Amino acid sequence: MGNKGLRAWRCGTAFVAVLLCIAGRVDAHHSFAMFDIANPVTLTGVVTVFEWTNPHSYIEIDVPEGSGVKHWTIELGSTSILQRGGWKFSTIKKGDRITAVVGPLRSGEAGSLLVRVTLPDGRVLGNGGGATGIGGGVPPPPASPPK
């Protein structure tokens, strides 16, 4: 193979490698269309697990329902996005009682995407990144009438 042939082979190989990287990256993330953000649900329950992981963190809570308990999984953004919104790995602990406003799964299963959460100390955090963050950031809670 001559100099031109070797150069063409290297360029072609590099081009294919870049395409494969881009294709893998595009396919690596999912849509949030499975969540019904337009019809939020409020869940109050006890945290059983808080997973501070990438690409998404998760809160699992047990919510009283009738005479039993329903176990919910709440998806959050990545740890870097959450940190920008004021979260830390220690923000929520097993046993904490929280109230979460979530976009439930359209399938009706007990899974959801976090919109905002009220922590045991009264702080309200969103799904990171402010108003444009995943799940709509931190929409203000409903206004209370003045007293």
Tens digits of per-residue pLDDT, 103-137?
999 999 999 999 999 999 999 999 876 544 455 44
Identify the H or E element spanning 72: strand 68-75
- Least Cα distance to 72 among 83, 81, 80, 60 occurs for 60
Q: Give the pLDDT of residue 56.
A: 92
Instruction: List beta partners, residue 60.
Output: 49, 73
For 85, residues 6+ apart whose C-beta sits below 8 A from its C-beta are 77, 125, 126, 127, 128, 129, 130, 133, 137, 138
Domain coordinates of the chain in residue numbers? 1-29, 41-136
What sign does the CA torsion over 109, 113, 114, 120 have? positive
Second-level CATH architecture of 41-136:
Beta Barrel (2.40)
Counts for the chain of helices (H) and strands (E), in that order: 2, 6
Strand partners, 46: 62, 97
Higher pLDDT, 28 or 43: 43
pLDDT at residue number 63: 98
Tell me the C-alpha distance between 72 and 18, whole Å: 40
pLDDT digits (tens, 9 = 90+) for 45-90: 999 999 999 999 999 999 999 999 999 999 999 999 999 889 999 9
Burial class (CB in 10 A: 0-12, 13-18, 19+), 140: exposed
